[in-house]
Chain A
Amino acid sequence: MTIQDDLEVRDNLRVIEMPATDKPTIVVSVDEPASPSTRPDVVVVERRPQATGDKWNLSGKIRENIKWFSRIDLVLAGAALVLSIFGTLLVWSATRSRLEAAGDDPNTFLTRHALNIVIGVALAIFITRLDYRTLRSYTPIVYGVVMVSLFVVLTPLGVSQNGTKGWLPLPAGFTMQPAEFAKVVVILALAMVLSEREVGRDEPSTHDMRYALAWAAGPVALVMLQPDLGSALVIGSIVIGILLAANASTKWLLGIVGSVFAAGFLAVVLGILDRYQLDRLLTFMDPSHDLQGVGYNTHQARIAIGGGGLWGQGLFQGNQTQGAFVPYQQTDFVFSVAGEEFGLIGAAVIIGLLGVILWRGIHIARQARDPFGRLVATGVVCWLAFQAFENIGMNLGIMPVTGVPLPFVSYGGSSMFAAWIAIGLLQSVHIRSRQ
């Protein structure tokens, strides 16, 4: 029996065969924008438009590419690109004097960062062109690969930085941070599970919820083992966001949020958290706590940002930045470079561009043609939103310090790739949206 046999097919609908998975997958969508009076009461399967004509027809290919390009969300892509370029300046400014002082090439980080962006954009284009629904069918495989790498990073093969065993060494001095890709696969896995729920139900069944949480639990647990509290929290925000968008009952959502808080409270009380995590928390609650130790970082970052004023001290002119007073300034504290050297204007540009990306992301989620797309887009938005808020918040002293990078801006290959994959996912959903 084919899907068509079971469905009433209208001429404005296309039916395709989905690649076989363990269960027949039904993509639920409607062709027209939601309007109560014209809304069909049938469930339809949408057919992907097939490329027609000669594959070797060059002009056709170009036309196709132009057509494709015209359909992407240019505002979203532009914001991400401008943010990445601005980030490149900041990373350069934060690292050049340090590198020079150490007798190294002051442009080392600049070139690497630029290369990361290029790779990231390429990944985004690849993901955009790939139908996200195709991606869905590969989700279990990708999920498996990431899980394996999350395991491997815990073995002696993994490399530690600042007490977190989260990096896998790659050839030529590069490293890979599997936790960044865990964020992507959690989005895909949850979207996959929750979008294929039984036809006709409003909200996920208890079974679906358990199944979805089980998919998320694996990566969270492995990330916590590194331990990388920041990434775990980001994944947590993704889970909450997707569940919210999947119409999970408020009861479930409150239950999950409540149990996360309870677990956190227990961890503090029972002393499961590492000393450094407690210290960070203490420092957050009392910024003057241990100014020479844990508090030093946030203190110096805040001095840098506050010292920037409205207009900033100018590129390469920041006292704190050029004096190398803020540790990890090209990664977790890159926002402080913008704050010091470009002032409130620079800070607002970063926050504003991120705001644009998030705004477009939600828009794409709302316009998504099918539940999978909507859930993926929502997951991406919640991920970027939480991670950006946490990162900038800790720079500004309103969030505790957890080592998460600022998407598109912080130095770091995996983080940059993941951020651009996120853009790719959004674009992919956008292109295939209802408009």
Chain B
Amino acid sequence: MSSRMKRQLTAAMRRDRRLILVQVLIMSLVATLLVRAAWMQVAEGSNYRSAASGNSVREIVTPAQRGLIVDQNGRPIVANRASLTITVDRNELGRQKDGGTKVLTKLGKQLGLSHDEIVNRMKPCGTEGALKQPLCWNGSPNAPVEVANDVSQEVGLGLMEQGRAFPGVRAELRPARSFPKPSGARATHVSGYLGKVTEDELKEIPEDDPRSKIELIGRSGLESQYDEELRGTPGVQRVGVTRNGAIANVLEDNPAQAGSNLVTNLDAKLQGITEKALADAVKDAQRRGLPADSGAIIVQDVNTGRVLASASAPTYEPEVWVGGIKEKVYKQLTDSKKGTPLMDHVVSGLYPPASTFKVIPTAAGLKSGMYSKTGSYSCPSYYSVGSQRFHNYEAESHGSISLSEALAVSCDTIFYEMAHKMWNADGGLKGKPDKDELILNMARGFGLARKTGIDVPGEATGRLVGRQARLDLFNERRQDYCKRAKDGYPEVEPQSQAELLQSYAKDFCAEGDQFRAGDALNAAIGQGDTLTSPIQMNTMYAAIANGGTIYKPQVARAIVGREGQVERSIEPEEIGKLPIDSDTISYLKSSLAKTTISGTSHNAFLGFPHSKINVAAKTGTGEVAGKKSTAWFASFAPYDKPQYAVTCVVAQGGTGAETCGPAVRKIYEAIFGITGSKIDPSKSVLGQGAAFGDIPAITTEDSELAAQPSNGPTASPSDIETIKPSPTPTASTTSPGASSGTSPSPSNGSFSTPRPLEATRPSSSSSTSTGNGSTGRFLP
């Protein structure tokens, strides 16, 4: 064989070998696929089958009925009813030829909405054109979107009947909050409201947790504080579905479990009366030409701290939240010019406590040894520090009087002198911030500048004034003021005002860190930068009344299960003791007892049966620069055997005695069954005066849900009870530029821009100083 032949032969064999190689390779690929398929389908098949079931199994979530919120006698304040909700299935619309335009337009006609409005409601939060939180849709992208809540039965039933004409649209009955308002008691702010669960919140809950199916969550008040107890567990039914979405079989059925009921310490009748008393006090002040833009009244049991009634003004109808609040309404509720109706001023409102604060310097004076219970001290019409004069209210002079009388007639000058002495003793201008400031420490001991821990969210801390606080304030605002000192206030008119402000700013920039005598004097009478909340003051007066124990204010009494079993009883909780001895407490009490008989509020309590039920009280008229004064009335009764403490505040409401006095009197009359000067315990709204009997047994049945028909859309802007129903043009008294004392915009206690009116300098004149607080957190 020739070499050429050989070579060709080997080449041919090599070619064939290569094809065999390709063959082997390809057959091994084929084998790989077969093995892999067998592995997936037979060995691991069950895993995939369970994953597949996730695709064709649907979860049907039935919202749980929330627990009721009832008063101490079991009267429901917040209950449930059925609401007709219209939902739209976006997937189903997407399958329609025009993307659902026709259906939505038709639906809009039924609901009184335009096509675009409905489309916007269906947009998930954060996408273009979507409504703002909390109005936008934040549910699952695949879940049907709620486009209208609480529609009338006519509309809802109409849609149900014409189901074929509205593919993808469904009308469903869903539980919604209802407000029976027993005895007119709304308790809007205490109860709080519900809001949709946000996407971020859902992220924190594992998907298999039934809580992830919750749609509504308490956003404020008791609804938020006791949300976990109230909300229950939604029912989850897992059903197999055919590809058309029809249910083929039920795989798993966990019925919804309704939430527990919340028994509160509130008394519906008293709550109703308190709300009305506050509204009347506000209206009355407005009739007198005062802005009276916000206010609060709180009633507590002094021996337990339990809250019997709590009212905040301005208020609104709680129904506005049902089925999602309207944007316009929400704007009104958060409008500070309208007094921020959304805010619970009882816990979040901060006001200069003014004379109601004076029990603190009295106690401090006695404790220091500089003052005695029997001593007499002069109460001139003014007190001078250097060239400055600090006047009594209306420059009255009371001659030489005891501290007790000084409290009753609310003499300022005695406390000015006391504060001046203590300020000097602490080192005057050169005093170090760590000095033991007697009045400041006493105020702390009385529980101020500290949250009481009330079981209503959003409580404000308040503020006390002292050397350290002054330094902190200075460090915080220095930059702004120093900039203003240089640049002035070009935006302020007229020029004279701008110049004045600039001189404040210069002053502050140069020596704002100094705690001056004037600051100490203002602080002693609860002015200056001192701010307290109504709940703090009432808790403090309750402690004085009960002999020195500070109780945590509590609205909730017990959590009661659906079958009436008490799941949790909330017992009174002591959170502190007043740092004074019982003699001093008695001394303070007896001093306060005179107020309604011969003191500042005797007018408001004329004809009151003082001999049987003596109301011990302290009025206050807090001055706020550029605004009308804050009316305060802190009290407890009966003096000899204290049971109840009532505090009333009306911002820009004039004097405490005139504005709050009558309101508080009405509340005591209701509590004790007083008509005129007659006492009839049987007429007491609390029923024989025996508050806090056994925890009422409440049971609820699910049938109640379907029973009540919806009465159509209830939320409309006109439902908001704003605080200006009087025809008097009071609105003009509020200067638009001046920020309200309850301005919600800055977060608690932070001031990002200089506010000229806050520049409190004793050098600039008089005791008129400001406390311009901001509020606690209230936004959902």
A and B are partners in one complex rather than unrelated chains: yes
| Cross-chain contact A97 with B243 (CB below 8 angstroms) | yes
Bound-state Cα–Cα, A308 to B5, Å: 57
What mask results when residues 17 to 49 of chain A are scored 1 for a CB within 8 Å of chain B, else 0? 000000000000000001010010100000000
B residues in contact with A304, CB < 8 Å: 52
Bound-state Cα–Cα, A231 to B21, Å: 24
| Cross-chain contact A247 with B14 (CB below 8 angstroms) | yes
Bound-state Cα–Cα, A358 to B4, Å: 34
Secondary structure at the A interface, as helix, strand, loop or mixed, is helix
Picked from A200, A339, A381, A397, the residue with its CB within 8 Å of the CB of B41 is A339
A303 an interface residue at 8 Å Cβ cutoff? Answer: yes
Instruction: Enumerate B19-64 residues with CB–CB distance to A below 8 Å.
Output: 19-23, 26-27, 29-30, 32-34, 36-38, 40-42, 44-45, 47-49, 51-53, 55-56
A77 an interface residue at 8 Å Cβ cutoff? Answer: no
Picked from B5, B8, B51, the residue with its CB within 8 Å of the CB of A306 is B51
Q: Name which of A122-130, A212-220, A317-325 contacts chain B.
A: A317-325
| Cross-chain contact B27 with A393 (CB below 8 angstroms) | no
Give the residue name and chain of the A residue nearest to B10 (CB): A202
A residues in contact with B1, CB < 8 Å: 36, 41
A residues in contact with B14, CB < 8 Å: 202, 247
Task: Return A276 CB to nearest CB of chain B, in Å.
Answer: 22
Instruction: Enumerate A360-399 residues with CB–CB distance to B below 8 Å.
Output: 362, 365-366, 374, 378, 381-382, 385, 389, 392-393, 396-398
* A-B interface contact total, Cβ < 8 Å: 148
B9 an interface residue at 8 Å Cβ cutoff? Answer: yes
A241 an interface residue at 8 Å Cβ cutoff? Answer: yes
Bound-state Cα–Cα, A123 to B13, Å: 34
B residues in contact with A397, CB < 8 Å: 40
Chain A, interface residues (CB within 8 Å), range: 35 or more
Bound-state Cα–Cα, A385 to B24, Å: 12
B residues in contact with A362, CB < 8 Å: 19, 22-23, 26
Give the residue name and chain of the B residue nearest to A321 (CB): B243
Task: Return B251 CB to nearest CB of chain A, in Å.
Answer: 14
| Cross-chain contact B7 with A202 (CB below 8 angstroms) | yes
A145 an interface residue at 8 Å Cβ cutoff? Answer: no
| Cross-chain contact B15 with A245 (CB below 8 angstroms) | yes
Secondary structure at the B interface, as helix, strand, loop or mixed, is helix
A293 an interface residue at 8 Å Cβ cutoff? Answer: no
| Cross-chain contact B8 with A41 (CB below 8 angstroms) | yes
Task: Return B591 CB to nearest CB of chain A, in Å.
Answer: 71
Picked from A307, A324, A366, A396, the residue with its CB within 8 Å of the CB of B52 is A307
Known: A103-B97, A245-B15, A396-B40. A324 touches B243 (CB 8 A): yes
| Cross-chain contact B52 with A381 (CB below 8 angstroms) | no
Bound-state Cα–Cα, A358 to B8, Å: 28
A residues in contact with B243, CB < 8 Å: 97, 319, 322-324
Bound-state Cα–Cα, A385 to B31, Å: 12
Task: Return B402 CB to nearest CB of chain A, in Å.
Answer: 78
A106 an interface residue at 8 Å Cβ cutoff? Answer: no
Bound-state Cα–Cα, A381 to B486, Å: 87
| Cross-chain contact A381 with B22 (CB below 8 angstroms) | yes
| Cross-chain contact A343 with B33 (CB below 8 angstroms) | no
| Cross-chain contact B42 with A344 (CB below 8 angstroms) | yes
Task: Return A133 CB to nearest CB of chain B, in Å.
Answer: 19
Give the residue name and chain of the B residue nearest to A43 (CB): B8
| Cross-chain contact B26 with A385 (CB below 8 angstroms) | yes
| Cross-chain contact B42 with A309 (CB below 8 angstroms) | yes
| Cross-chain contact B26 with A358 (CB below 8 angstroms) | yes
| Cross-chain contact B37 with A247 (CB below 8 angstroms) | no
| Cross-chain contact B33 with A366 (CB below 8 angstroms) | no
A residues in contact with B18, CB < 8 Å: 244-245, 247
| Cross-chain contact A305 with B37 (CB below 8 angstroms) | yes
Q: Name which of A62-70, A266-274, A278-286, A347-355 contacts chain B.
A: A347-355
Instruction: Enumerate A253-295 residues with CB–CB distance to B below 8 Å.
Output: none
Known: A36-B9, A101-B95, A366-B16. A351 touches B30 (CB 8 A): yes
B residues in contact with A131, CB < 8 Å: none
Among B12, B29, B44, which residue has the most Cβ atoms of chain A within 10 A?
Answer: B29
Give the residue name and chain of the A residue nearest to B4 (CB): A41
Bound-state Cα–Cα, A260 to B744, Å: 66
B11 an interface residue at 8 Å Cβ cutoff? Answer: yes
Known: A323-B243, A344-B41, A351-B37. A305 touches B30 (CB 8 A): no
Known: A244-B18, A303-B51, A307-B49. A359 touches B27 (CB 8 A): yes
CB-based closest 6 A-B pairs: A306-B48, A307-B52, A202-B11, A355-B30, A347-B37, A344-B41
**Which positions in A face B, CB cutoff 8 Å?**
34, 36, 39, 41, 97, 101-103, 200, 202-203, 241, 244-245, 247, 300, 302-310, 319-320, 322-325, 339, 343-344, 347-348, 351-352, 354-355, 358-359, 362, 365-366, 374, 378, 381-382, 385, 389, 392-393, 396-398
Q: Can you give 8 A-B contacts (C-beta < 8 A)?
A: A244-B18, A300-B55, A306-B48, A344-B37, A347-B41, A351-B33, A366-B16, A392-B37
What 8 new A-B contacts, CB under 8 Å, besides A200-B4, A309-B42? A202-B8, A306-B49, A319-B55, A348-B34, A359-B23, A374-B15, A378-B19, A385-B26
